[in-house]
Structure 1
Amino acid sequence: MHKPSISIITVVYNAATSIEYTIQAVLALTYPNKEYIIIDGGSTDGTVDIIKRYERHISKWVSGPDAGLYDAMNKGLEMSTGDFVWFINAGDAPASPDILERVFTGNSYADIYYGDTMIIDENGKKIGRRRLSPPSALKWKDFRKGMLVSHQSFIASRKVVKKYDLRYKFSSDFDWCLYALKNASKVQNTHLILSLFRDGGITKKNIIPGLKERFQIMVKNYGLISTLLAHLTITPKFFWFWIKHKRF
């Protein structure tokens, strides 16, 4: 039985301490119908040397300057050929080697597969599941409650995605996932932890501008009044979790 092909894309810049962890985890995937693409932003810290060490196992990789995270992710999309795309960026990892066999089951396939995310520390130790839990049946309107599914646990058909909007520097993934959900005919909950997400990174370091962008995206999709009302619930929960756990 034909199984869909998937392009796994890793975007990296000066992450010599974490890129090998991600490469090894992706290469350990046992799903046969996959390609692995790495987009490096012109790293100067030894990241490229690590990539070269594995390049015979990597489908495609490039290194050079870009206009930021989402420009690099657009490069990955342009280079990809799979039926599905899955972004596993530097420091993150698929949840297990057999996770894609567990996702792509049956004889027909959804447009989007989603699941939960396990947060890990810099040593790969599990911290706990993400603050927001995936709903049993995900619809685009559910993102009024926040990004209920992390980007690393969102596997999308190329038929329903677009390029990342470069107007957003920190939250374009929120916009991208919303667009895909709006265009999807079938969205499937895998009921699995799909990815391991390293705590920290660009989003955490730029949390306030990221939240401002997310607010703008929500207004664009849901309207101002609906977004303001949603934030009456979102904001207190967010800051309470942040104060208690020092993460989001």
Structure 2
Amino acid sequence: MQPKLSIITIVYNNVKDIERTMLSVLNQSYPNIEYILIDGASTDGTKDIIYRYKDRLAQFISEKDKGIYDAMNKGLSLATGDYLLFMNSGDEIYSTDTVREVFASAPGADIYYGETEMYDEDWHSLGQRRHEAPQTFDWKSFKYGMSISHQAIYIKRDLASPYDLQYKYSADIDWIIKVAKKASSIVNTHTYVAKYLVGGISKQKHMESLKERFHIFTKYYGLLPNLINHFSIAVNLARFYFKHHRTND
């Protein structure tokens, strides 16, 4: 029996990218997908595009929400699949066979994850994320930064709780860590599984996002270890940009 995957897309006023995201889901070769689309009452023509595919959606809501994670919680409450995947507007599943390949990589895992390719706003590839997906992953793996993209992780639905709405920009990190603490089987698919559009809300509100991340990491890892880990993050970041700068010179 092929597991059922609930894919949730949230969108607000993104007429430029929504169809590309939707088609990356709707064109999957894997047959057992429930596609849920949550729109925040868009006014720019986004809903007109969504309506073109409405008969292929399991659920579609268009109404005002209290932010990105409130919209995600609406999607979670509607999901009936064995697994969850969030593929937000602007991002894509990597290829038409990706979902099939993920579930073929190992049977019955609690979490599947893979690598992410980054894209700019004109959809030109920027290559792999600076944080490569770790060879092995558990709830402690985020201590040096978010090493797996939200779009690149498939999670068993019965392990997932609602997003904590006290966090406006980094609730996804808190959510994944909570799930990973419960998981007993975590599988690295060793393949690219997602394409990510750079420049989401956590980038636009970068300082606020960093503060939230620090709070979340302190909650799970402790203050002193978190301070030490952040020093390591800063050193590694400096090395990365120095190397990148030298390469481009």
**The TM-score by the shorter chain falls in which range?**
over 0.9
Give the corresponding residue for 1:155. Answer: 154
1:50-92: CA deviations, max 9, x gaps? 1111111111111000000000000000011100000000000
Matches within 5 A, 1:63-212: 63-105=62-104, 108-212=107-211
Unaligned 5+ segments in structure 2 are none
Give the corresponding residue for 1:13. Answer: 12
Closer, same or farther: CA 194–45 of 1 in aligned 2, 3 Å: same
TM-score computed with the length of structure 2 as normaliser: 0.94
The offset of 1:237, in angstroms, is 2.9
Which amino acid in the other structure matches residue 218 of structure 2?
A: V
TM-score computed with the length of structure 1 as normaliser: 0.95
Give the corresponding residue for 1:234. Answer: 233
**Alpha-carbon separation, structure 1, partners of 2:34 and 2:5:** 6
**Alpha-carbon separation, structure 2, partners of 1:108 and 1:101:** 12
The offset of 1:238, in angstroms, is 3.4
The offset of 1:160, in angstroms, is 1.4
1:15-49: CA deviations, max 9, x gaps? 01110110111111110011101000011111111
Does 2:25 align with 1:29?
no
Closer, same or farther: CA 58–141 of 1 in aligned 2, 3 Å: same
3-state SS of 1:15 partner = coil
Which amino acid in the other structure matches residue 197 of structure 1?
A: Y
The offset of 1:236, in angstroms, is 3.4
Aligned-CA RMSD value = 1.5
The offset of 1:241, in angstroms, is 4.7
3-state SS of 1:143 partner = helix
**Alpha-carbon separation, structure 1, partners of 2:117 and 2:10:** 20
